[in-house]
């Protein structure tokens, strides 16, 4: 029993290690800091040239031009050469000349020595390999060819966080999902595919229906084209021809509003919309009013909504709980993981994390 408990605690420790959120920023001294676990930590005293953050780590170019990475545990030198780099919440991809490399949870790997363009998303990297003129994908420690292209290679414009739509040489649209490739249809014209984290939706020109693809299955959600649509994490939101706003998830549809929405948006686990000059969201299937006005600015990510409040400051809704972070005007804000980082006018910072506000 003792051995079993030790193993369980080890697993919990590993999970906690990789699920930790890093919240990086430059402070008023131009030091490079991060917030984590209720405290602030200095990463670099010298000014950094550039940085890009995901939910689990931050990659940055230090004052000497080196590419470095910090994952909440330790700082790692990646390369001292000039690089082009991209990050997602979990992956780092970087090119040194035509060589494409990546980092994932402490592991470095070379994907190809013949890369050209690439795109880094949540759990995948899509890239062009000029050696065999192929469009390739990295997913879950595997590298797979999506298609061999006759003619000019190009990265698909329809790349979701864990799902990709691409076109082969015969005008056949296909979707990559969970390591498998599914055929959609053959069509010579353009199709508006909206991809979320693990689901996609589109107006099917062959059946004239509105379709969702989830868990390897295509489903006719509506029997006619929809006016506008977006995909999140496991759900789709769409506006019908009568301007009704609908939410679709796992075969069930919910009417969000039958008023003409002034705006609506979807990302990850969040949908927000305006209705009669009020701002709403959906939490666990329940419609919740966020504000009794339409904010001038907002940002959505994961399960968080950050917005400009009525005083001109910043408030945020996390898991349905609304918190005022500051009333100070002209404060800048962004979402990192499920934390909200706010930069005040004097270059000091506030972080909303797990319901508490921390000041630097």
Residue 37 CA, distance from chain mean position:
22
Instruction: Report the alpha-carbon distance of residue 267 to residue 330 in Å, rounded.
Output: 25
CA 295 from centroid of its chain's CA atoms: 22
pLDDT at 183: 97
b/e code 81-109 from CB counts within 10 Å (16+ = b): eebebbbbbbbbbbbbeeebbbbbeeeee
- Residue 6 is predicted with a pLDDT of 38
Note whether 185 and 173 are within 8 A (CB).
Answer: yes
CB atoms within 10 A of CB 301: 19
Residue in the block written with tokens 């001292």: 80
pLDDT digits (tens, 9 = 90+) for 290-316: 999 999 999 999 999 999 999 999 999
Name the nearest CA neighbour of 265 among 196, 185, 354: 196
Rounded Cα gap, residues 78 and 67, in angstroms: 5
pLDDT digits (tens, 9 = 90+) for 227-236: 999 999 999 9
**What is the residue-wise DSSP string for 203-239?**
EETTTTEEEEEETTEEEEEESS--SEEEE-SS-EEEE
pLDDT at 259: 87
Give Cα separations from 75 to 42, 57, 103, 205, 298 (angstroms): 11, 10, 13, 50, 32
Burial grade of 140 (CB within 10 A; 0-12, 13-18, 19 or more): exposed
Burial classification of residue 20, based on how many CB atoms lie within 10 Å of its CB (0-12 exposed, 13-18 middle, 19 or more buried): middle
- Per DSSP bridges, beta strands 199-204 and 209-214 are antiparallel
The domain limits of the chain are 278-360
> Residues of the chain with pLDDT > 90: what percent?
84
**Distance from chain centroid for Cα 211:** 23
| CATH fold label, 278-360 | Thrombin, subunit H (2.40.10)
| pLDDT score for 298 | 94
Name residues whose C-beta falls within 8 Å of residue 55's C-beta, 6 or more positions apart in sequence: 21, 89, 90, 302, 336, 337
pLDDT, residue 7, reads 35
How high does pLDDT run on average in the chain?
91
pLDDT at 31 over 60: yes
For 68, 82, 204, the CA distances from 95, given in Å and listed in that order, are 14, 9, 37
pLDDT, position 16: 37
How far out from the chain centre does Cα 166 lie? Answer: 19
What's the token pair of residue 16?
Answer: 């906690």
pLDDT at 13 > cutoff 80: no
pLDDT at residue 122, as a whole number: 93
Q: Find tokens 């972080």 and name the residue.
A: 351
Pair of tokens at residue 5: 């408990």
Q: What are phi and psi of 14, to 5 degrees?
A: -65, -45
Average pLDDT of the segment spanning 276-284: 92
The answer to whether residues 176 and 137 touch, using CB atoms and an 8 Å cutoff, is yes
How far apart, in whole angstroms, are the C-alpha atoms of residue 151 and residue 154?
10
Determine if residue 154 is left, alpha or beta; phi over 0 gives left, psi from -120 to 50 gives alpha, anything else beta.
beta
């Amino acid at each position: 029993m003792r051995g079993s408990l030790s193993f369980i605690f080890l697993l919990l420790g590993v999970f906690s290690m990789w699920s930790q959120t890093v919240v990086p920023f430059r402070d008023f001294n131009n030091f490079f800091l991060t917030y984590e676990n209720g405290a602030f930590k200095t990463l670099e005293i010298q000014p950094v040239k550039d940085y890009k953050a995901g939910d689990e780590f931050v990659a940055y170019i230090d004052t000497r031009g080196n590419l470095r990475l910090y994952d909440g545990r330790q700082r790692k030198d990646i390369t001292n050469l000039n690089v082009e780099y991209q990050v997602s919440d979990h992956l780092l991809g970087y090119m040194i000349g035509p060589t494409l490399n990546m980092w994932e949870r402490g592991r470095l790997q070379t994907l190809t020595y013949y890369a050209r363009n690439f795109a880094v998303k949540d759990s995948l990297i899509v890239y062009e390999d000029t050696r065999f003129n192929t469009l390739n994908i990295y997913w879950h420690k595997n590298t797979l060819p999506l298609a061999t292209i006759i003619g000019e290679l190009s990265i698909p414009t329809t790349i979701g966080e864990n799902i990709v739509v691409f076109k082969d040489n015969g005008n056949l649209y296909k979707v990559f999902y969970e390591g498998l490739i599914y055929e959609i249809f053959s069509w010579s014209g353009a199709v508006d595919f909206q991809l979320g984290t693990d689901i996609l939706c589109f107006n099917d020109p062959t059946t004239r229906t509105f379709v969702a693809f989830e868990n390897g299955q295509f489903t006719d959600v509506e029997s006619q084209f929809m006016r506008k649509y977006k995909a999140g994490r496991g759900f789709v939101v769409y506006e019908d021809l009568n301007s009704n706003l609908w939410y679709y998830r796992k075969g069930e549809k919910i009417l969000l509003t039958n008023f003409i929405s002034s705006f609506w948006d979807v990302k990850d686990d969040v949908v927000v919309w305006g209705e009669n000059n009020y701002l709403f969201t959906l939490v666990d299937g329940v419609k919740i009013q966020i504000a009794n006005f339409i904010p001038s600015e907002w940002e959505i990510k994961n399960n968080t909504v950050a917005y400009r409040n009525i005083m001109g400051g910043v408030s945020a809704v996390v898991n349905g709980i609304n918190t005022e972070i500051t009333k100070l005007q002209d404060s800048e804000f962004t979402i990192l993981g499920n934390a909200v980082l706010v930069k005040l006018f004097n270059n000091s910072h506030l972080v909303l994390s797990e319901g508490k506000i921390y000041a630097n």
